[in-house]
Structure 1
Amino acid sequence: MNGKVSDVIEQPGAPTRIRGSEFSYSPEDFNLVRQTLYRISGIRLAETKDAMVYSRLVRRIRALRHKSFSDYLSYLKRTPAEQQHFINALTTNLTSFFREPHHFSMLANHLAVSPQVKTIWCAASSSGEEPYSIAMTVAEHFGHFDVPVKIIASDIDSNMLEKARAGIYPEQITRQLSPERCKHFLHRGKKHQAGSVRIVPELRKMVEFRHINLTEPRWPLPRQIDVIFCRNVMIYFDKQTQLRLLEKMVSFMPAQGLYFAGHSENFSMAPHLVRPVGNTTYQPAKGKSYG
Structure 2
Amino acid sequence: MNSSASNTFTRDIPFSDNDFRSIADLARDRFGLSLAESKKPLVYSRLARRLKSRQVSSFSDYLALLNRTEEEEERLELISALTTNVTSFFRENHHFEMVQTVLSQGLAEKARAGGRLRIWSAGCSSGQEPFSIAMTLLEAIPDAPSKNVRILATDIDPKIVAKARAGIYSAEDVSGIPAPLRKKWMTADDAAGKTYAVADGLKSLVTFNELNLMNDWPFAGPFDAIFCRNVAIYFAPDTQRRLWQRLSAKLSPGGLLFIGHSERVTGPALEDLTGVGITSYCKSRTNAQPTLQ
Distance 1:69 1:278 in 2: 45
User: Which amino acid letter does the alignment assign opposite residue 51 of structure 1?
Assistant: P
Pairing 1:91–2:80 present: no
User: Which amino acid letter does the alignment assign opposite residue 164 of structure 1?
Assistant: A
Call closer, same or farther: CA 1:186–1:11 in 2, change over 3 Å. Answer: farther
Contact 1:254–1:288 (8 Å) recurs in 2: no
The match for 2:218 is: 220
User: Which amino acid letter does the alignment assign opposite residue 167 of structure 1?
Assistant: G
- How many Å apart are 1:148 and its aligned residue? 2.9
Pairing 1:25–2:12 present: no
The match for 1:75 is: 65
User: Which amino acid letter does the alignment assign opposite residue 42 of structure 2?
Assistant: M
The match for 1:231 is: 229
- How many Å apart are 1:208 and its aligned residue? 0.3
Helix, strand or coil: the match of 2:207?
A: strand
Contact 2:272–2:283 (8 Å) recurs in 1: yes
The match for 2:129 is: 130
Cα offsets for 1:73-97 (capped at 9, x unmatched): 1111124423222222222211111
Choose the corresponding residue for 1:54, options 21, 33, 44.
44
Contact 2:90–2:129 (8 Å) recurs in 1: yes
The match for 1:13 is: 4
The match for 1:281 is: 280
Alignment of 1:102-113 (within 5 A): 102-113=94-105
User: Which amino acid letter does the alignment assign opposite residue 63 of structure 1?
Assistant: S
Helix, strand or coil: the match of 1:17?
A: coil
Which TM-score applies when normalising by structure 1?
A: 0.89
Helix, strand or coil: the match of 1:84?
A: helix
Unaligned runs of 5+ in 1: 1-9
- How many Å apart are 1:152 and its aligned residue? 0.1
More helix by share: 2
- State the superposition RMSD in angstroms: 2.0
Contact 2:185–2:199 (8 Å) recurs in 1: yes
Cα offsets for 1:103-146 (capped at 9, x unmatched): 00100111122225511001110111111110110111112452
- How many Å apart are 1:210 and its aligned residue? 1.1
Contact 2:255–2:283 (8 Å) recurs in 1: yes
Call closer, same or farther: CA 1:188–1:156 in 2, change over 3 Å. Answer: same
Q: Which moved more, 1:143-152 or 1:89-98?
A: 143-152
- How many Å apart are 1:207 and its aligned residue? 0.6
The match for 1:256 is: 254
| Count of aligned positions | 278
